[in-house]
Structure 1
Amino acid sequence: MSRAVIVQAKRTPIGKKNGIFQSLQVHELTAPLLRHLANGIEEKVNDVIIGNVTGPGGNIGRLSVLEAGLPLTIPGLTLDRQCSAGLEAIRMACYLIQGGAGHCYIAGGVESTSTSPYTKRARFSPDRIGDPDMIKAAEYVAQKYRITKDQQDEYALLSYERSWGAFEHGLYEEEILKVGQWHRDEELFKKRNMMALLKRAKPILAGDSSTVTAANSCGIHDGAAAALILEENTALKLGYKPVLRFVDSEVAAVHPHYPGAAPIPAIKMLLNRNMLSIEDIDMIEINEAFSSKVVACALELSIPLKKVNSSGGALTLGHPYGASGAILVTRILHEVQQRKKAKYALAAIGSGGGIGLAVLFETIHE
């Protein structure tokens, strides 16, 4: 069986909605990444797979290929698995390589909430089951797993300190591709008193038991990320150094009221099938849409917080929906190169509708 390896991954800076990327369409955010990753091997790219959630519709994958000036022979594909879309695109490319469909793919995700033509989100679930907005769903997760506001605030503060620490130590520099004049995440333009914000923030929903606040939730953002994925022997022949080898993945679904808990069964099944435990995984990235989600996953899976999102995440930097899963992989690729003893890394994300996706990688060291 052919083995899929990731040799490069990059992301744009992450911008606030109506912020630094307010005038860029989705294909204009994606195109610089495609040009960078395909540089020198343009004729060898079999396809480009792009995840996207909020529009504008059409085949953004193909549009991005054309915007980037890549060969007209590259088809381009767009997929939507809500917030899992970017990670699903990478997963799909890995399986296409394993199945022998091709040897070279660029896969990732993009979101431009600033230019989206849609003012309302898509439906996640039929009314007979219930179709909660993500904030209410995050509250449901907090209630189900008995996660307090204090626990959520503590994790949000930890994530904030980690994100700023990573930024100040230059850990984000290698993963970011400059777009126009921008080379820094917009949320990192100015430091805030996060502890004071957390104490001051009130629950968004009414009710004495509500715990989810604007301060322990992610914001709405723009951004893109993508990875260059090759068949392993092809990568070596082309002179690339493989960094991550795709091992396996799992997608699972839970009740649509609890999307934040959906990574839990996905991770459990993935580890069980590969006869691994949490102790065997050296680096774990779980998308930080809400503190309640990460805390629930950590508690239910017995994950030490030192293993989860050790360089921060979406609670501070932002969550450009379709791109976030690919941002997780980009973070892993760059960080494991600094961890010479790391063997396994895992990326996981939950999505609207109650879908959880987890992908397992083996790190490759010289």
Structure 2
Amino acid sequence: MRDAVIVDAVRTPIGKRNGTLAGVHAADLSAHVLRALVERTGVDPGTIDDVVWGCVTQIGDQSSNIGRIAVLAAGWPEHVPGVTVNRACGSSQQAVDSAAHAVMAGQYDLVVAGGVETMSRVPLGAHRTTGRPYGPTVLARYGGVEFNQGVGAELIAERWGFSRTRLDEYAADSHAKAAAAIDAGVFDDHLVPVEVDGTKFTTDEGLRRGSSAEKLAALKPSFKEDGVIHAGNASQISDGAAALLITTPERARDLGLTPVARYHSGAVSGADPVLMLTGPIPATQKVLQRSGLSIDDIGVYEVNEAFAPVPLAWLAETGADPERLNPLGGAIAVGHPLGASGAILMTRLLARMRSENLRYGLQTMCEGGGTANATIIELLA
């Protein structure tokens, strides 16, 4: 089995809903990171075997195989293919996993993985405008309950006993960590500015500096009248794109590139689709067992902040060190552009590992329908 290595990773700044990136088509936003990736590495795009691209709501602007359209928008040769992957919020993490698996199996030598979501232009839930998601058999199996992530977050908070105050404290801390990371320039190396109307967009714009549990206490619950989940302790609706270049160590050497990290292990798991968001717990257990590592061997954990109870429940069940959890903030602070979030988390994971010289990093994402991906990477440079 060959090794798969990441040689570079880039992302756009994350735009807030109806913010700076709202006027940019998903294909053009995708093309921006594709072009940036080859410009930074000097790789001839014509030598790329495939582009594996995550996107969740594949209608409207994001329809017609946005992965392939992104390749054409980037101006790459027409013989370069592209495919679009949908594993809900983990779509671009699955894209990374699938690309690495293909390299390890010897089917690809050089591949780009990443994703996009422009939620300002293709709203969350837009897929419900035609047809009936889930179908009668699945709905009957679960007592007619229509799966809802916000309701799942409420159920998780109740099951693990998280108070509104605890969730709001976590959310405020996410903003504080993200602000510190931005101010320290942690994201600068992998963030590629987007020019919009003659101005360069350079910083994640969802951040709310000075956020506190006291301020968040004024927000109304979103999913349950006496609930604990609201807009302030949930991930933000956002726009963004990210891309990684994956190859073998030998091919990287031939191209004059230095691998940053090795794809160590990956796993995917399912869980209760009504709770929906607990999948990262069994996925983490599965990837650790597969890797031969313990939770204490991992220097940093990126657990997507879909809602505050998700990383907190993960923390409670895994026994992980809370100081290693999402040290640069997360989606509560800077946003969750669904199809791009897995690749964005990977850029964040790499940034932390490189700045602190941490050997292993773990990333996991809760996903619609109760699935989750978990990936471990090993720092090389």
Superposed CA deviations along residues 213-244 of structure 1, whole A, max 9, x for unmatched, are: 21111111100111011111101121111111
Tell me if 1:50 matches 2:53: yes
1:274, distance to aligned residue in structure 2 (A) = 2.1
Superposed CA deviations along residues 279-335 of structure 1, whole A, max 9, x for unmatched, are: 000111011110010100011111122111101110000000011111111112222
Q: Which amino acid aligns with 1:290?
A: F
Superposed CA deviations along residues 103-143 of structure 1, whole A, max 9, x for unmatched, are: 11110110011221775355367322232321111111112
Superposed CA deviations along residues 164-220 of structure 1, whole A, max 9, x for unmatched, are: 1111111121121011121111124x6344333212123223344x21121111111
- Please say if residues 218 and 319 of structure 1, whose CA atoms lie closer than 8 Å, have aligned partners that are also in contact: yes
- Please say if residues 176 and 211 of structure 2, whose CA atoms lie closer than 8 Å, have aligned partners that are also in contact: no
| Change over 3 Å in CA distance of 1:192–1:145 after alignment to 2 | same
Give the corresponding residue for 1:158: 173
Give the corresponding residue for 1:241: 258
Superposed CA deviations along residues 134-158 of structure 1, whole A, max 9, x for unmatched, are: 1111111112222221221121121
Q: Which runs of 5+ in 2 are unaligned?
A: none
Q: Which amino acid aligns with 2:262?
A: R
Q: Which amino acid aligns with 2:94?
A: E
Which of 327, 351, 360 is 1:344 aligned to?
360
| Change over 3 Å in CA distance of 1:247–1:193 after alignment to 2 | closer
Tell me if 1:232 matches 2:252: no
SS of the counterpart of 1:106?
strand
Which of 275, 278, 285 is 1:258 aligned to?
275
CA distance in 1, matches of 2:202, 2:91: 24
Q: RMSD in angstroms over aligned alpha carbons?
A: 1.6
Q: Which amino acid aligns with 1:247?
A: H
Which of 68, 76, 83 is 2:74 aligned to?
68
Tell me if 1:168 matches 2:168: no
Give the corresponding residue for 2:235: 218
SS of the counterpart of 1:337?
helix
Which of 120, 136, 146 is 2:126 aligned to?
120
Give the corresponding residue for 1:317: 334
SS of the counterpart of 1:311?
coil
SS of the counterpart of 2:63?
coil
SS of the counterpart of 1:127?
helix
CA distance in 2, matches of 1:206, 1:69: 48
Tell me if 1:111 matches 2:117: yes
Q: Which amino acid aligns with 2:299?
A: D
| Change over 3 Å in CA distance of 1:287–1:118 after alignment to 2 | closer
* Ranges of 4+ aligned residues in structure 1 off by more than 6 Å: none
CA distance in 1, matches of 2:123, 2:279: 29
Which of 166, 184, 190 is 2:203 aligned to?
184
Q: Which of 250-259 and 312-321 deviates more?
A: 250-259
TM-score (norm 2): 0.91
Q: Which amino acid aligns with 1:138?
A: A
- Please say if residues 50 and 89 of structure 1, whose CA atoms lie closer than 8 Å, have aligned partners that are also in contact: yes
Tell me if 1:353 matches 2:363: no
CA distance in 2, matches of 1:315, 1:136: 17
- Please say if residues 259 and 356 of structure 1, whose CA atoms lie closer than 8 Å, have aligned partners that are also in contact: no
- Please say if residues 131 and 256 of structure 1, whose CA atoms lie closer than 8 Å, have aligned partners that are also in contact: no
Q: Which amino acid aligns with 1:47?
A: D
- Please say if residues 8 and 333 of structure 1, whose CA atoms lie closer than 8 Å, have aligned partners that are also in contact: no
| Change over 3 Å in CA distance of 1:144–1:195 after alignment to 2 | closer
% same residue: 35
